A and B are shown apart, each in its own frame.
Chain A
């Protein structure tokens, strides 16, 4: 039993859950009715309308109403006040109200028949029945259909309140006793219907709970539940499970199994007698009222056990382990769990390497907890999954710590490490610990009363500890760099070393959480989805109606399980936390993108940015000039501040800007500010220190005009203008000062003139200090025009980004143009590839290749006789008898096996057995010159061995990738080939492109390598490739023979060559080029007839319009005169092959010699020579033929 909420009050006598909202009404013995929110744990409202105990209380199912009945013989209807619900102004208000009231009248008054007090009466949820319990020791069932018929008003729609509009409520004949249930020996306190079955449960002062069954004609006692040792005050059926709940004055609540009639659970209180029970109509919640308050509780945890790995969610539902693929949303049952525990699975730990799970089950008595180790069946029928035998042991928690190890916290709270066979491998002494959690390979998190410890299981030592009380769940990020520790009301995020990064307190229960892919922790409370950044920022993403358990977060989707264990996907708006994350990570480009594109709410974000020290970012949100101004000042952006100040034009702004600008040495802005605020003193001083004498003089003039003597004098002093000073002093009547000034500075004339004016009798001429010196401000060397030099601070990203905005747009446009050009080019190339008939070929062949894999078995049968000396000498060496050490002999390396198992040249090259490889190539395709093969051999060899490091500073170990690694065993290995037909074909495509581009030499070279690689393939036979390459090579050789065109003979030869070339097996695109060349040459040679032939062939290929048009013109010209001027060795109608050495046509039927590899044809005299195409094979050699598949050796 899990207590969700408790209240303290006077004795609770009545309870009612609201069907939708998290509210519960409690009516008290002292006449007060309380409305509680059990989720927020707050008292919403209080109604004090009754005198004396209130025994009955009920929410209206649809309206914001409740009804109460008390010992004061009053029934009151309460309206939930405005502060809780929306204004109640339904038009049916009154009728509903009336009918509702009448419903309660009925309950209290109509039932006549009991001989003592009626303690309780309930409607049947669907039939016209009422059940009542009385102190006369009986339970009675009443038929009220008469009442219903009589009072059913035509307009009544409120079926839930039974449509009774109270008119004649006291008619005795309306409710007829249907059954009288006798069996209790004392007064009956409570009776209730089963929601769906014809059952009644009752509780009485005889301390018994009785179950009754009824049908149309009779009712009888089914069974009795004994156990309470004082009066049973209330008994109800569980709305959804086969359970009965009862409570009693013996201070206990008991849960009974309905079918077995045995006690399942008992919940005791120390001092309070229980009086009433209430069940939530939809949720698994109950409430019980006792002497000093109420508790809201549920019978069992509703949290599903689940585990996430990669894209898979594993969870337990209805005794099945299910697997949900997040990508495809495919949800399948993978296995059935062994039954036998009455408790649901508490937690799960999944091991992806072994595809095994640990399912922990908690018993009420923790010491009886067990766990099951299951290996998940590899294949299972989702409709009827296997029920594999698991291994069960006792233990509180079991968690994987490695691929083949798991840790078990046993009931003595010590730690056992077990292997996959569920055998104890070792015992580890751990610090006191009450729960363990997963913490990556080889580590565990141990929870004790006030903290969590990271513990290394292998080293048996604690690595780190963090203080946090009562952690319930632990959620690791995907890369295990961060962990979220969830307690009931707190979340702590730590790094791998368990250093606390942030600490969040929640008023509502924390339920679950998951890390999203950007490292933000998304968690749920009972009613919110929230986020937390590792930096500590957190906030609400959205509200929830019911608790959910987050399993995974990806993008906008929150995957979760609800309380019915159904997988759900909720959508969230991640903008806010993404924004904050980008800020924290200083990913300003993202921030900027979001600022520009996302609709981020204004004030709160600005305040956030300011608070977090990102005024420069906030600057970009703000349109309001005033805020903009202060933000700009905050981040020292004088330009922006100046703009804003200009717009605002307020004195205070200019003053603040002036100060800020002065600090930055932006004296031009300072000047402007002083001018705007008419701060002449400061302005004057500014001019002095910047050496701007002209303006300083101007200031002096202004001061004079303003009659600001002091300012005027000051300016004169700054300027070192003595005569001006004398004049000012004189004008303002400071005669002696004026005299002294003049005298001191040697303005004798002035001094004399002043002296004259003194009245010798009244005034004394002041003494001139002989030591007085001329005080002059030093003259500026250069007036300061520019601002003070500033440190070159790289511009903030945002300033830069904003400034660059215009430019970037332009660049992008340029780029677009470029790329579109490129695409145009690419389109052509694409076209060419599409036309290529060979592209389709590899697919078909690939399948054949696959078929071949199966044929691998043939190798086994073929089984070559192994030379006996190659067999591993059994028992030789390695023996260590009597300490005498005999070093072992060398074993058989996989490469030796390869040679033994295969006759394909490539396998021998990979094995490093060049000698046999050459022999095979020689015999199979007649290679006699291995020069061109050298690089191929070396390359092939180099891909036969991988290397990995053993102990440091030792020569590395060698791995041998094998193509049949899955089932080759120790002796049947064949090397992974690494040369695929598809690769060759794609390389062939490159050659075509080179040809198109006219880079013939490159193309020829590459064609040859491809051709030579063909015997190194392992597929089914693939002669076509060889043929394709062959034709091209011959053709390209022709092209390369650039003969001089001087003589007619040579011209004729050139034409012939061009004509031959048109008969090579070429790609259409190339054929067009070739035909055009030939056409032009023949036309020039005035061989119109042949030219016309070329022209027609060209047109058949459908060349581009301009080419086609030109060709048609030439064709028309040719057709006027269908003759050939010269006799050439070319007959287009007679099929021929081209001799690859002499480039003469070999018409069909003439003797011909072929190259065994390329299939190129030669005139007989060339037999025995090196093939011109491959440059490796011998023309006309008698060979076995190409062998590229083990099938060929069958």
Chain B
């Protein structure tokens, strides 16, 4: 229940409107180009807002894998928030430097961290999450109080299969702002993990967002995940087809299509085609890493078996 805040007389006609709403919203629902466009359009009212705007702008570039833009644009004298974004961009852009960056980050985290720099916490947690160091990620996020920190906490908890804790965290988010885009999205993630009747709720959340803003790969794959969890394969096909039309080599779409085509009973060749596409375009994707590991495991295990007699 949100406390009622008396709205001051409307001078600007905007009330308590977040001037960066469109920028943030576009970013969270995965509409990165729109986020960049909006960020370039908006005129921030204060230097703080400007930094915040830039933060989302560069993160949108990162999400588009355009790391060079970020690395070139953010200079040594840029504010600390943006330095954090740059660190994350560096981490993602080169595999070879990752160990150095993580070691450096560890050192920073060991010292006392400026908890007000939420961006730094988020970026640190993102790196740790990529490193599968969920403890460190959660520890970092624990210091922040923003909605996004909570959302990321939920995502990490879900990757740990701790739905119970994720729900608790979600409750906190809902108390802070139930209607915020991030809260809605986090609700959907948790609902998918909970399963059962909640799946339909999750679906509606994604559906509502794509109705209201625009349908994005993020939202479409969310919808597909809901459909598939409900064994609604035909419906999922439509959604994934739309996603495929938007980007034919989007890794999550391909992964979901690999699942879907098999459930639809398509010929095995169709499935392997998507797998090859995925191998072609996203060799480093965690799904493929898992996949290769499993292949090796298979070979190892298979050696334990042999016929009693040979021909």
Segment at the A interface, from B41-49, B71-79, B101-109, B210-218: B210-218
User: Which partner residue on chain A sits nearest B154 by CB separation?
Assistant: A950
- Given contacts A885-B139, A978-B262, A948 and B305 within 8 Å (CB-CB): no
Is B221's CB under 8 angstroms from A955's CB?
no
The answer to whether B222 and A948 touch across the interface, beta carbons within 8 angstroms, is yes
Q: Hey, which chain A residues are within 8 Å of B158, CB to CB? A: 950, 957
Report if B311 contacts A (CB, 8 A).
Answer: yes
Instruction: Flag if B160 contacts A949 (CB, 8 Å).
Output: no
Whole-angstrom CA separation of A970 from B195 in the bound complex: 8
Given A953-B92, A954-B129, A1169-B307, verify A878-B208 contact (CB < 8 Å).
Answer: no
Across the interface, A948 reaches (CB within 8 A) one of B60, B192, B196, namely: B192
The main secondary structure of chain B at its interface with chain A is helix
Please tell me if the beta carbons of A459 and B259 are within 8 angstroms of each other in the complex.
no
Determine the chain A residues whose CB is within 8 A of the CB of B13 once the complex forms. Answer: 431, 461-462
Q: Tell which of A368-376, A378-386, A601-609, A886-894 binds the partner.
A: A886-894
Interface residue A489 (Cβ < 8 Å from any Cβ of B): no
Cβ of B95 < 8 Å from any Cβ of A?
A: no
A:925-964 near B, CB below 8 Å: 927-931, 933-935, 937-963
In the complex, which residues 868-890 of chain A have their Cβ closer than 8 Å to any Cβ of chain B? 872, 877-878, 880, 885, 887-890
Contacts of A599 in B (CB 8 A): none
Q: Which of B88, B163, B259, B301 contacts A914 (CB 8 A)?
A: B301
**A939 CB contact (under 8 Å) in B17, B130, B155, B271:** B271
Is residue B10 within 8 Å, beta carbon to beta carbon, of the partner chain? yes
Instruction: Judge whether A976 and B263 touch: CB under 8 Å.
Output: yes
Shortest beta-carbon distance, A1127 to chain B, in Å? Answer: 29
Q: Interface 1/0s, chain B 268-311, versus A by CB < 8 A?
A: 10011001000000000011000100110111011011111111
Docked-complex contact B159 and A918, CB < 8 angstroms: no
Distance in angstroms between the alpha carbons of A951 and B62 in the assembled complex? 12
Q: Quick check: which of A435-443, A506-514, A1065-1073 contacts chain B, the rest being far away?
A: A435-443
Shortest beta-carbon distance from B27 to chain A in Å: 6
For residues 952 through 984 of chain A, which have their beta carbon under 8 Å from a beta carbon of chain B? 952-963, 965-970, 973, 976, 978-980, 982-983
User: Measured between C-beta atoms, what is the minimum distance from A998 to chain B in Å?
Assistant: 21
Q: Among B15, B160, B255, which residue has its beta carbon within 8 angstroms of that of A947? A: B255
B267 / chain A contacts, CB cutoff of 8 Å: 987
Query: Which residues from B are CB-within-8-Å of A1178?
Result: 307-308
- Whether, in the assembled complex, A460 has its beta carbon less than 8 Å from a beta carbon of chain B, the answer is yes
User: In chain B, what residue has the closest Cβ to A969?
Assistant: B196
Do the beta carbons of B208 and A930 come within 8 Å of each other?
no
State the Cβ distance, B280 to closest chain A Cβ, in Å.
Answer: 16
The CA-CA distance from A403 to B178 in the complex, in Å, is: 13
Asked whether, in the complex, the Cβ of A951 is within 8 Å of the Cβ of B151, the reply is: yes
> Please, what's the 1-or-0 string for B205-234, where 1 marks a CB less than 8 Å from any CB in chain A?
100110110000110011011101111000
Interface string of A439-481 (1 = CB under 8 A from B): 0111100000000000000111110000000000000000010
Q: A480-B211, A888-B138, A950-B189 are in contact. Are A962 and B255 (CB under 8 A)?
A: no
Interface size in chain A (residues, C-beta < 8 A): 97
Contact B302 A934 (CB under 8 A): yes
Residues of chain A within 8 A (CB-CB) of B193 are 957
- Interchain CA distance A928-B308 in the complex, whole Å: 9
Taking CB atoms and an 8 Å cut-off, the chain B residues in 174-219 that contact chain A are: 178-179, 185, 189, 192-197, 199-201, 204-205, 208-209, 211-212, 217-218
Query: A966 → chain B, closest Cβ, in Å?
Result: 7
* Interface flag for A429 (CB, 8 Å): yes
A887 and B298: CB pair below 8 A?
no
Complex-state Cα separation, A951 to B259, whole angstroms: 22
A461 touches B14 (CB 8 A): yes
Contact of B235 with A by CB under 8 A: no
Contact (Cβ within 8 A) A893 B305: no
Query: Which residues on A sit within 8 Å (CB–CB) of B168?
Result: 878
State whether A891 and B162 are in contact (beta carbons under 8 Å apart), knowing that A955-B129, A968-B195, A1141-B311 are contacts in the complex: yes
Q: Contact flags (1/0) for A530-562 with B, using CB distance below 8 Å?
A: 000000000000000000000000000000000
Q: Report the bound CA distance from A894 to B162 in whole Å.
A: 11
Q: Is B165 an interface residue (CB 8 A)?
A: yes
Shortest Cβ distance from residue A210 to the other chain B in the assembled complex, whole angstroms: 56
B2 A425 Cβ-Cβ under 8 A: yes
Give the CA-CA distance A890 to B158 in the complex, in Å. 10
Task: State the CA gap A872–B15 with chains docked (Å).
Answer: 47
Interface membership of A986, Cβ < 8 A:
yes
Asked if A952 meets B28 with Cβ closer than 8 Å, knowing A938-B298, A943-B263, A957-B159, the reply is: yes
Which B residues are CB-close (under 8 A) to A978?
259, 262-263
Given known contacts A948-B225, A952-B63, A957-B159, A937 and B265 CB-to-CB distance under 8 angstroms: no
Chain A residues touching B, majority SS: loop
In the bound complex, how far is the Cα of B218 from the Cα of A431, in angstroms?
A: 34
Residues of the A chain whose Cβ atoms lie less than 8 Å from the Cβ of B178: 425
Question: Is A959 a contact of B212 with CB atoms below 8 Å?
Answer: no
8 Å CB contacts to A: which residues of B48-81?
59-60, 62-63
Q: Are A460 and B155 within 8 A (Cβ)?
A: no
Q: Which residue of A lies closest to B240 (CB)?
A: A946
| B residues near A1141, Cβ cutoff 8 Å | 311
CA gap between A945 and B157 in the complex, in Å: 18
Expressed in whole angstroms, the minimum distance between the Cβ of A993 and any Cβ of chain B is 13
Q: Is the CB of B229 within 8 A of A891?
A: no
Cα distance A966–B196 in the bound complex, in angstroms: 5
> Chain A residues near B247 (CB, 8 Å)?
none
A28-51: contact bitstring with B at CB < 8 Å (1 yes, 0 no)?
000000000000000000000000
Alpha-carbon gap, A987 to B27, bound state (A): 45
What's the least CB distance linking B285 to chain A, in Å?
9
Q: Taking the complex as formed, is A915 at the interface, i.e. its CB lies under 8 A from any CB of chain B?
A: yes
Q: Is the CB of B212 within 8 A of A952?
A: no
Whether B258 pairs with A914 at a CB distance below 8 angstroms is no
Q: Which residues of A contact B200 (CB under 8 A)?
A: 353
Min C-beta distance of A135 to chain B, whole Å: 65
Q: Whole-angstrom distance between the alpha carbons of A954 and B134 in the complex?
A: 12
A530 to chain B, nearest CB (A): 29
**A402 interface hit (Cβ, 8 Å):** yes
Q: Give the residues in chain A near B99, CB-CB below 8 Å.
A: none
Question: Which residues from A are CB-within-8-Å of B199?
Answer: 965
Are B129 and A947 closer than 8 Å at their CB atoms? no
> Is A14 at the interface (CB under 8 A from chain B)?
no
Among residues of B, the one whose C-beta sits closest to the C-beta of A940 is B262
A interface footprint on B124-158 (CB within 8 Å = 1, 0 otherwise): 00100110001100110010000010011001011
Report the separation of the CA atoms of residues A1167 and B265 in the bound assembly, to the nearest whole angstrom.
36
B114 lies within 8 A of chain A by Cβ: no
Query: CB < 8 Å: which of B151, B302, B308 contacts A1168?
Result: B308
Q: Report the 4 A-B pairs with minimum CB-CB distance, sorted nearest first.
A: A1168-B309, A983-B265, A891-B161, A1168-B308
21 intermolecular pairs with C-beta atoms under 8 Å apart: A440-B212, A459-B21, A460-B17, A877-B165, A878-B168, A887-B134, A890-B160, A891-B160, A929-B306, A929-B307, A930-B302, A939-B271, A942-B291, A946-B224, A947-B225, A949-B30, A949-B222, A952-B59, A965-B230, A980-B265, A1170-B307
Interface residues of B (CB under 8 A from A): 1-2, 4, 7, 10, 13-18, 21, 27-28, 30, 32, 59-60, 62-63, 88, 92, 126, 129-130, 134-135, 138-139, 142, 148, 151-152, 155, 157-165, 168, 178-179, 185, 189, 192-197, 199-201, 204-205, 208-209, 211-212, 217-218, 221-222, 224-226, 228-231, 251-252, 255-256, 258-259, 262-263, 265, 267-268, 271-272, 275, 286-287, 291, 294-295, 297-299, 301-302, 304-311
Other than A888-B162, A961-B259, give 17 A-B pairs with Cβ distance below 8 A: A440-B211, A461-B14, A878-B162, A887-B139, A888-B157, A891-B160, A918-B304, A927-B305, A929-B307, A930-B298, A942-B291, A946-B224, A946-B255, A950-B155, A955-B130, A956-B252, A962-B229
Question: Which residues of A are interface residues toward B (Cβ below 8 A)?
Answer: 353, 402-403, 405, 423, 425-427, 429, 431, 440-443, 458-462, 480, 872, 877-878, 880, 885, 887-894, 912, 914-915, 918, 922, 927-931, 933-935, 937-963, 965-970, 973, 976, 978-980, 982-983, 986-987, 1009, 1141, 1166-1170, 1178, 1181
